[in-house]
Structure 1
Amino acid sequence: MGAGVTGTGTAWQLAEQGHSVLIADPLLAQPIPDKPADRDLNGSTASLGVLMGHAFRRSSGRAWRLRQRSMTLWPSWVEQLNHPESPLHLETPLIQLAGSAEEALRMQQLTSTKPNSGLHFIDDDSLEQADPVWPQAGHGAMLSENDGRIDPLKLLQALRRSLVQHNVELRATDVVELQRRSSSHRHHWQLINADGRNEDVDLVVICSALGSTKLLQRLGHQRPMDAVLGQVLELQLNKQAKQWSGWPAVLTCGGINLIPHGQDRLWIGATLEPGVKADSAATETMRRLNGLAPAWLEDSCLLGQWHGLRARPRERPAPLLEELEPGLLLASGHYRNGVLLTPATAEWVGQHINKAMITSS
């Protein structure tokens, strides 16, 4: 349930393993757009697809393990999904600017403790070679050779194409209720669908982010999630960028991502705004990079903007990966890392389903 990147990627992996899969989401009635439009988008289609798995301060714990596993799996995912009709590739590297001397010191310590992870500290002298000049806080930066981004729209197009190839049933409807079946019934669950076509299934995987809460409440599971809005701007540079010489795939400044898009265009995002309504003041603050924007960015023209919603678990760490009861898996609430953690999430779901099948047999 849920046809964002996480749900679609999980459905593809389960089909690859030979499972019979049905994926349900009203979004399946719509084609994946070629580019973001000036309208409300869901979390996946509004995402910038940033993959920050190695440039992560922790070196233990669940969040670190999930990031590491996903970054290990991403190259094989891209290789399998890449096709002339839906080309796909990883864009690297990622550079994170230090906002203070303390942050620069933490970056230097991180690069020294992870010598084989493709992390390097860059001093200010090396940062001055880019054209147009980067926004700088004057404290250096950390380069991650293996982090970067993947285009989420192209990824969704490739995944949906692969679902069709694997004969996955695409049901463009909402699941409004889940009903447990009796232990004597051949199937364990019934999906009550908004289109009136109910479905008996063995297992349910919920990947529907903010849509998960009501379904789970009816079953007695309390997993509240809050909406956090993120805005993205598309800017046209008045200063020609000269093919963005020296720029990485993703430049991060104070938590804001700058992504070159074509010769003289730039995507900039994304904000962290509680609720579902975009704040114009937050938009302006983001565009000015909290006061660090160089003159060429201040002078750029706004071509378009969009926003999407992320699901942040309340009082629980993101993401929510749980077997709530036999045959009911929750893989949701990825907050800002839905695209990044999709491969590891799909693997987790596949492992639990295979384990359940072995136990039941």
Structure 2
Amino acid sequence: MSVFIRDAVRTPRGKARSDGGLAALQPHELVTGLVDGLEARGADPRGVDQFTLGAVGQIGAQGGHPAMVAKMYAGLGDGCVVHSLNNFCASGLSAIGLAANAIAAGQAREALAGGVEMMSRVPFMADRADYYTAADLPPLRRYIPVGLAADLLAEDEGVAREAMDSAAERSQRSAASAEAHPSFNASRIALNGLDRDEAVRPTTIEKLGALPPAFGEWGRDYADALQRTAVHSHTVAHAPPMVDGAALALLSSDPRNARARIVGFAEAGGDPRASLTAGFTAMEKALERAGLALSDMDRIEFMEAFAVTIAKFLRDYPVDPERVNVSGGHLAKGHPMGATGAILTSTLLDVLDAARGRYGLVVSTGAQGVGAAMVVERLA
């Protein structure tokens, strides 16, 4: 795939509450700030042919075709083709992959892609979709909130509570340490006076071990879909905080001044009941398409959808933990759903640059069996 990432930037992640660092802004203002940031770094994001924006909660502040709204506020050209995308928590990475495919197919010369999610304005499940409570599907096809899906996966895979506590502590410790390394956040664009990921909360194994499971009561509401009594193991510390955030990647067919080359991209569907496993499938496909192995990856950004996913990855795959989520992950920094994959892409380029590595991998996974992954090659 001869598609290049000219640059990739992200906002800090602000707490999704009224006094959060980004809550006073609108989603299109986050996107505009990033477009301005790309321009300040020497790119021409307003001259792109195509703009694809992921957003999960496409209602209220994020309704009305959010990519079109952001296009107008950010001053992209009238001829720029826009797409708003909802692929749940893989949306931001799916947007980048679809834009890359358009360039590879000759449909665009340059494209802007990424995601935005302001959970302070559009909370989780705010669209109140009929599907969330639909009873006309077979029980094993019904919607299961992702926290319950994480509990089911931990039970089915035998992922111990101790492994999840360890994953949460490591994420928090790494995220806090990353603030002392400017190179890890070289592509993070301060907005509204916020210049850090404000949900980070360092903790200890002892404190984590004392927390109770978080999703037991929710399980009763979805008993028919669960078809069994799940062993509830995830605590609030094993779930990524709800935050506001956005990220954009500028893609081009021209390798000049590019930071990286996309060498493999894949999406995957999966069993909606084992809903956090499709990212693993997408990862394996992306590596196969790139003709590379996990051992070739100098840095990996693996989405910490819940603690079970990162614990399973580190346990079941031949990977060096010191190359994974080196600046912390979602358990510490938070999960702005539609923006997540794009945020991880920007983070990956930063940590690859810091390590002067060659190959990097980003993996995102989401509810009901969605996943996406991408392999990039850093260009010195």
Scaled by the length of structure 1, what TM-score is found? 0.33
- By relative contact order (CA 8 Å, sep 6+), the higher-ranking structure is 2
As a proportion of its length, which structure holds more strand? 1
Q: Which has the larger radius of gyration?
A: 1
* TM score, norm. by length of structure 2: 0.32
